[in-house]
Chain A
């Protein structure tokens, strides 16, 4: 086995199997367990990122274990999977570092670390799988991890919300399995490499889409995501920025972007669904008063922009959507981690009870502002370029209704984030006694994400060159 294949297999195997060693490390000591979990996260990131150099030189790495009936377990590193894996693993590693302080005074910590690392491992497996059935298998594993993580606190309400999360996403996954079975009988294989450029029937595409929408929390399956906000902020950050929600977007890019040639009417349907999703959730974000629910609605709305880019059917928009995934992961991860600091130090999630926090939490406030600006798409932040590319691609597509829906959505993004920032950090203090700043590692984590968001804007040339190359090499049916 040469080096890229070794790195590919370790990037999946180390977090998946390492996760089950975390309880053992927990027997040794708490700090050994925490260090082990963080190391697993960092190692996964390094392994995934090390694959950049072979894929940039035009190689791919494949690893295969044969299974009967065409269910072969195939891992494949190409430009898209390496990109997605590195982004997820990076944000997850930051979240793990942040967790060490954040989670230290709750119960069930061992389970928490096990599940986060297993989650990351399943995500790696999903991203690198080149067989639809194995994508589905890892898909369900992420569902299981999200179930345990959303139900981290054990009150009846939390457990009920966790159950809602898994039931909605598993329902979607089962629909997706129906779609996969259709593909299996239509084409006789589930190997994505063999299916490259093949056609897909409307029914199969629709079933797979249902699975994708349920995972990425787009209308009509969006309600579980705001509810999942009962979990600790690290978990919601993980779900929103690094793994769960991105899975749906990644699957769309993988299945309809670089594998099957999706029918036009189907792409149009996705555009309208995404547009409606962007508007409805932005509206909800404008009126809600729970800090985590607002950011969650914002995710639903931003994910719709990624779908806009992926489904518009031209290269500009597709490359923009890939950049959007990167920018949104970094910025939204930062926002949730900031929310975690705020929530932990003020003991409330109601933004009406906050206000004027900037004086007592300047670092968190600054990071929050930077991340918000990136999500809004203000130049020179990374978020601006991705949003711009998505819009210019969508304009080339020429569907005016959809474009207008998203323009309104973008304006609303601006409004609700300004409102959120104002309510939390500016204005009069409302019934709190100037809570203190978060711990060093926590603030450092959020500042790192905020600064990276800014740096990505300044150095936009590199990611965008990568995204263009990816689109040109792998894209199917793009103009």
Chain B
């Protein structure tokens, strides 16, 4: 474990245990505790990474590899947005309200565990904790759709866990250790490739399923659509990225030391990435439901990260991590906005919505910012991460991949245009007539995230410096 960040794992865990007791007589205590825990953590992290001396020294004194710090920051940020939103969104009299917050905090703690672990076995344990909490979070919505989504999630991702553990066992048998440091040394030495590649392939397959990459994406739309809206923001924004995509990035950096002997694996990863981009985007074009469209969009965006992870050059990894962070910002905005729309207009069926821009101007415009960032329109943050990924592809001579990845941005833009036309612009429908803007606390997370999207786009040089330090540390 990375000791420096251990507190960020333990404190939310502790708060999660505390919440049921504290909230027994005062239900509001659950909201307050969860929010305060995450806010304090986030403030702490911001100070760690963004103190003036740190910026002045160009992030040379970052603790650890810098990547875990950044990702813990993303986890806390999304977690805080979700808990803050939930505090005003959930029904006051929901019986399992304390349990809901406890689960959210456990999931934050588990994700912190995933990104701070220094060996694959610990990572696996936390990924499993995360899977169980996600399953429980999806079922917080006790409707039929919620249970269906949870079951699909269960049946499709638990076999993945089995694959991962078998792969880990094979690696353990052949290499004798699972810590990243040892794996790195082994892989750059002259060990026979066969069993290790096989083990790595099994692990990779497991994480591919967990990140919802095509063709293993069947569970994502149902899970995201079925869950409570803040839960889907949590899942799509950060959980699947940490439990699947992060591990893939980690695998990819390790396989690089395999120099060429696992070429097929990284090529397969890149191919699946591109396939996800294409399939996710084209499927999103045909969706009728707002949340489902966002789910497919998520599949498509994960494709970019996976594509870059498979390539594995320093520039590609910078792009992958940057895009992962950006995805957390814009997808959280979009899912939270879909929740606001659902709360206000009573439906997320895009055929029944329309003309919400006048009654819900803030929701409408924050969605526009988020969708433009997703589609990679400059000068928003999504543009830079996509540009870095495409430059990395081009640099490695994979021009077809680069051009295809770039041109699928137009499909991304197209389905968001369809969404924007049906939901926010266009003629007012019956459902839209009686839908006032949601209250300010519900808008706050989306506005903060949008501010972040714009700021990251404009302050790209600083963020790039940070990521460069990260890439140097995790590769060399």
Chain A residues with a Cβ under 8 A of chain B: 66-69, 107, 136-137, 140-141, 143-144, 151, 154-156, 159-160, 163, 166-167, 170-171, 174, 177-178, 181, 184-185
Contact = CB atoms under 8 A, between A and B. Distances in A.
B176 interface: no
A166 B461 contact: no
A66 B462 CA distance: 11
Interface stretch (B67-75, B112-120, B269-277, B387-395): B387-395
A144 B377 contact: yes
B402 interface: yes
Interface of B: 355, 357-358, 372, 377-379, 383, 387, 390-391, 394-395, 402-403, 406-407, 409-410, 413-414, 417-418, 421, 425-427, 460-461, 464-465, 468
B417 A167 contact: yes
A67 B468 CA distance: 13
B95 to A, nearest CB: 43
Nearest to B416: A163
B460 A154 contact: no
A170 B383 CA distance: 13
B378 A178 contact: no
B402 A144 contact: no
A155 B427 contact: yes
Contacts of B461: 66-68
Contacts of B391: 69, 181, 184
B395 A177 contact: no
B458 to A, nearest CB: 10
Contact of A185 (B357, B377, B394, B406): B394
A13 to B, nearest CB: 12
A163 B378 contact: no
Given A66-B461, A154-B355, A181-B402, A167 B410 contact: yes
30 contacts: A66-B461, A67-B460, A67-B461, A68-B460, A68-B461, A68-B465, A69-B391, A136-B378, A137-B378, A137-B379, A140-B383, A144-B372, A144-B377, A155-B427, A156-B421, A156-B426, A159-B426, A160-B421, A163-B417, A166-B417, A167-B413, A167-B414, A167-B417, A170-B377, A170-B413, A171-B410, A174-B406, A174-B409, A181-B391, A185-B395
Contacts of B410: 167, 170-171, 174
Q: 4 closest Cβ contacts across the A-B interface?
A: A137-B378, A163-B417, A159-B421, A68-B464
Most buried by A among B395, B417, B464: B417
Nearest to A139: B378
A181 B390 contact: yes
Contacts of A184: 391
Contacts of A163: 414, 417-418, 421
Given A66-B461, A170-B413, A178-B402, 18 more contacts: A67-B460, A68-B460, A69-B391, A69-B464, A137-B383, A140-B383, A144-B372, A151-B425, A154-B426, A160-B421, A163-B418, A166-B413, A166-B417, A167-B413, A174-B407, A174-B409, A178-B406, A185-B394
A163 B422 CA distance: 12
Contacts of B394: 181, 185
A171 B376 CA distance: 12
Contacts of B355: 154
Nearest to B403: A178
B378 A141 contact: yes
Contacts of B387: 177
A67 B457 CA distance: 12
Contacts of A144: 372, 377
Q: Give the most central of A143, A155, A159: most B CB within 10 Å.
A: A159
A178 B418 CA distance: 25
Contacts of A137: 378-379, 383
A178 B407 CA distance: 9
Nearest to B407: A174
| Residue picked from B383, B402, B410, B464, most chain A C-beta under 10 Å | B410
Contacts of B407: 171, 174
Contacts of B383: 137, 140
A14 B413 CA distance: 29
A231 to B, nearest CB: 14
Contacts of A174: 406-407, 409-410
Contacts of A170: 377, 409-410, 413
Contacts of B403: 178
A174 B391 CA distance: 13
Nearest to A175: B407
A155 B465 CA distance: 46
B464 A140 contact: no
A68 B459 CA distance: 11
Nearest to A155: B427
Contacts of B421: 156, 159-160, 163
Contacts of B377: 140, 143-144, 170
A166 B420 CA distance: 13
A66 B414 CA distance: 33
Contacts of A178: 402-403, 406
Nearest to B388: A69
A164 to B, nearest CB: 9
Nearest to A168: B410
A185 B464 CA distance: 20
Nearest to A67: B461
Contacts of B464: 68-69
A159 B383 CA distance: 24
A170 B412 CA distance: 11
B427 to A, nearest CB: 6
Nearest to A137: B378
Nearest to A167: B414
B417 A141 contact: no
Nearest to B462: A68
